[in-house]
Chain A
């Protein structure tokens, strides 16, 4: 499948960057395996793949923010004495990521000063203003952004435009490769088109772009070559003309469809009355498993958090809470890092099993032991710190924390990150079993096979519900169709 030869060293001048069998692992997790590619001047490389396929990891290895654990990364004119990130900067590699790297307290022109380290010191404001406006005019003609405006006061789209313009701006070194990670996510169609036009011009003049996007139309419009990633690997790398939309979706992969379990319990249950309805139309009935699908970061997590906060009191502790939450972003939303497994597991149910002010420690131990066996937490001592567990087992603790309560509604925010296949199946069964006892689940997942478990699915796009699928309509194809903006050329 690989066609590195086309673009390998020697095809053109020295490539801007090339990777040879680059691996990157976080502990036992392989985020990138055996990536081999090179990007030369004049190329616009489109990079596609599901969430978690390793696109951002690859981009971060290319720009030197992450260092490969195996293999090699060569930047043009690299000095082996310097660090990767330094070499990437010297080679003129610049990146625009979704998390903004602007300083909101500074003005637009001052923000150019941050990456432009050796700007002439005399009259730098004039220089910065000119270069900033030149760059904005070049990429987004008619942008209407003032160079003296404070970034914090700009709209998100304007900030994104500033960030992109800074990446293309003329500094001490010419940009040779610009990495754009979902650059159009907060831009409207007309401005996105300006960006695409600029990318084409930039590449025609000998620049290179790595363009990461979920928008198929954009990928096809600008790319000369498309790289498809799946499970941390590059699975396809060919000139854009060799692909069709269907072949890309195909290469990105159906995520292990498992006909044995998917939708197994769906038909058996009778659903009760509606128990949740949010302002955006999201709703669930008693005993129903409702899926929230769509691409990551399209408003599903916010919708779930809103439902939780609407139902959970800030002042009172309910002995029988109405709703419980299973976090997916464990570090941000779930884990108490200083605590033991036991304390982490019992947090939500403390006032349920203790009748008085004090923690009933023997019921606590019983309850935790029961759940340890039931959900299979692999540890020999529940008093060990939570962080001694693997990610998957930490996740099980969070599941148990929520499921142990009697709350009729369970909200799950992509809770299967880093969980192995066997555990996933156990959890699916547990969810089905709980649902048949009239518990409702609101389940946001980025993985299709989990969404296929649901009775009803809301597909989110750009913060809104793009489609509601029921029963047999819940297919991967329908979900993809609703979540990708399939612009027809």
Chain B
């Protein structure tokens, strides 16, 4: 992934474009899209619509996870699924299908995300627990809270919210619009804001960043909170979309959030993140599943191929001098 470190000097725009690492994620997504729509027989339009819808949940959690991974080796948020479930459960319970409470409900979800992020980072900073185990053990707590408050019931979202989550505007799913808006914000943050420079600096060299006057703790705090808020928002939308929160709704997003970061071309070594790649990878991850589906392959083969794609991408990316 060292290509991205070579800024395009303007001498050869085409070459610079081809060297963008996120291109490959879109290329792969495009190929699987064509292959699927040719085979499935169903309309390409509806396939794209479905892809955009489902990819947006992965993209939202992926953006949060990407910023965490950008902080450098060892930084990862394993509490994503639990945070999603907890936020969705509590928010839906709070709204209790009342339309008037939609906005407060959203705030509840976001507040829960902030709370989870604070707990995560407090464990990392104060108890000096490695992020993997800190977010993991905290996620146990969130999961229990969710189970306790949910009690196996499936609370429905308020009607307008469900309509919003499953509906679209100008042919684009609303959830995708949210996901794209978030991606734009993340891109602005990373590429244009001072904080983005700080994030990247910490990911490249924490010690050097500190010695250059970067407020490292504040930045790390913000990133962990942000990741939890993204997860909470994704959980909120997913529950509204699928007609209610259930306890397993977050499960697949732990692996998914990391996978989209890796396939999207962000460096696992930190310091170098890639926002457009997140969407490409999220689309690809959905499309490859539907492609294999339309080939009539079972869940087993789908999982195996997904896994091999992840391992393959990491191995190929390492060729260009990646070092842990």
B41 at interface, CB cutoff 8 A: no
Interface centre among B208, B209, B213 (most CB of A within 10 A): B213
Chain B residues with Cβ under 8 A from A337's Cβ? 5, 204-205
Judge whether B7 and A315 touch: CB under 8 Å.
no
Q: A357-B193, A359-B192 are in contact. Are A327 and B211 (CB under 8 A)?
A: yes
Q: Does B169 contact A (CB under 8 A)?
A: no
Complex formed: what's the CA distance from A327 to B210 in Å?
A: 12
- Confirm or deny: B194 has a beta carbon within 8 angstroms of a beta carbon on chain A: yes
CB of A357 within 8 A of CB of B194, answer: yes
B residues 171-187 near A (Cβ < 8 Å) are: none
Bound-state Cα–Cα, A348 to B271, Å: 17
User: Which residues of chain A from 284 to 331 have a CB within 8 Å of any chain B CB?
Assistant: 305, 308-309, 312-318, 321, 324-325, 327
> How distant is B322 from chain A, measured CB to nearest CB, in Å?
12
Chain B residues positioned under 8 Å from A332 (CB to CB): 205, 207-208
Interface membership of B124, Cβ < 8 A = no
Query: Are A314 and B216 in contact (CB-based, < 8 A)?
Result: yes
Instruction: Determine whether the beta carbon of A312 is less than 8 Å from that of B197.
Output: no
The CA-CA distance from A184 to B157 in the complex, in Å, is 73
Query: Nearest CB to that of A332 among chain B residues?
Result: B207
Mask: chain B, 192-208; 1 = CB below 8 Å from A; 0 = not: 11110110110011011
Interface residues on B, range: 20 to 34
- B127: CB under 8 A from chain A? no
- Interface flag for A338 (CB, 8 Å): yes
Kindly state the separation between the CA atoms of A416 and B194 in the bound complex, as whole angstroms: 29
Please determine whether A336 and B205 come into contact, CB atoms closer than 8 angstroms: yes
In chain B, positions 1-53 with a C-beta closer than 8 Å to chain A are: 4-7, 9
Cβ of A381 and Cβ of B9 under 8 Å apart?
A: yes
Q: Check if B208 sits within 8 Å of A335, measured CB to CB.
A: yes
Given A314-B217, A315-B217, A337-B204, residue A347 in contact with residue B272 (CB < 8 A): no
Interfacial chain A residues near B218, Cβ < 8 Å:
314-317
Q: Which residue of B lies closest to A361 (CB)?
A: B192
A253 within 8 A of B: no
Cα A324 to Cα B212 with chains together (Å): 7
Residues of B within 8 A of A384 (CB): 7, 9
Asked if A358 CB lies within 8 Å of chain B CBs, one says yes
B255-275 at interface with A (beta carbon < 8 Å): 267, 271-272
Chain B residues near A309 (CB-CB < 8 A): 210
A225 within 8 A of B: no
Asked if B312 lies at the interface with its beta carbon under 8 angstroms from chain A, I say no
Q: Is A365 an interface residue (CB 8 A)?
A: no
Number of interface residues of A (CB under 8 A): 39
The answer to whether B292 has its CB under 8 Å from any CB of chain A is no
Q: Which of B4, B192, B195, B197 has the largest number of chain A CB atoms within 10 A? A: B197
B201 contact set on A, CB distance < 8 A: 336, 339, 347
A38 on the interface (CB 8 Å rule)? no
Q: Are A339 and B204 in contact (CB under 8 A)?
A: yes
Please report the C-alpha to C-alpha distance between residue A482 and residue B152 in the assembled complex, in whole angstroms: 76
B307 on the A face (CB < 8 A):
no
Asked if A312 meets B210 with Cβ closer than 8 Å, knowing A358-B192, A381-B9, the reply is yes
The answer to whether the Cβ of B147 comes within 8 Å of any Cβ in the partner chain is no
Give the residues in chain A near B188, CB-CB below 8 Å.
Answer: 358
Closest to B2 in A: A338
Per the bound structure, the CA–CA distance linking A317 and B208 in Å amounts to: 15
B298 within 8 A of A: no
Chain A residue with minimal CB distance to B194?
A: A350
Neighbouring A residues of B198 by C-beta, 8 Å: 317, 350
B204 in complex: contacting residue of A338, A351, A358, CB < 8 Å? A338
Name the one of A305, A316, A339, A357 contacting B200, with C-beta atoms under 8 angstroms. Answer: A339
Check A312/B213 contact, CB under 8 A, given A338-B272, A354-B194, A358-B193: yes
Q: Chain B residues near A338 (CB, 8 Å)?
A: 4-5, 200, 204, 267, 271-272
Cβ contact within 8 Å between B214 and A317 = yes
Q: Is A334 at the interface (CB under 8 A from chain B)?
A: yes
Q: Smallest distance from the beta carbon of B125 to chain A beta carbons, Å?
A: 10
Determine if A340 and B7 form an interchain contact, defined as CB atoms under 8 angstroms apart: yes
A136 → chain B, closest Cβ, in Å?
Answer: 35
Name the CB-closest residue of B to A357.
B193
Contact B194 A351 (CB under 8 A): yes
Q: Residue A79 at the B interface, CB < 8 A? A: no
Query: B215 in the interface, Cβ–Cβ < 8 Å?
Result: yes
In angstroms, how far is the closest chain B Cβ from the Cβ of A333?
5
What is the CB-to-nearest-CB distance from A304 to chain B, in angstroms, rounded to a whole number? 10
Verify B271–A336 contact, CB threshold 8 A.
Answer: yes
In the assembled complex, the CB of B267 is this many whole angstroms from the nearest CB of chain A, namely 8
* Residues B211 and A358 in contact, CB atoms below 8 Å apart: no
User: Does A383 interact with chain B (Cβ within 8 Å)?
Assistant: yes
Q: How far is the CB of A371 from chain B (nearest CB, A)?
A: 15
**Cβ-closest chain B residue relative to A337:** B204
Task: Report the bound CA distance from A308 to B209 in whole Å.
Answer: 13
Q: B7, A385: Cβ atoms under 8 Å?
A: yes
Residue in A308, A313, A336 with the greatest tally of chain B CB atoms within 10 Å = A336
Closest CB of chain A to B209's CB: distance in Å? 8
**Interfacial chain A residues near B4, Cβ < 8 Å:** 338
| A335 touching B197 in the complex, CB below 8 Å, given contacts A359-B192, A383-B7 | no
Answer whether residue A214 sits at the interface, using C-beta atoms and an 8 A cutoff.
Answer: no
Q: Considering the chains assembled together, what is the distance between the CA atoms of A25 and B205 in angstroms?
A: 27
A401 located at the interface, meaning its Cβ lies under 8 Å from any Cβ of chain B in the complex: yes
Q: List 9 A-B contacts (CB under 8 A).
A: A315-B217, A316-B218, A325-B213, A334-B208, A336-B205, A336-B271, A338-B271, A357-B193, A359-B192
15 additional contacts, CB 8 Å, given A317-B215, A336-B208, A348-B213? Answer: A313-B215, A314-B217, A316-B215, A317-B214, A325-B213, A334-B212, A336-B205, A338-B267, A338-B271, A338-B272, A347-B209, A347-B212, A357-B195, A359-B192, A401-B212
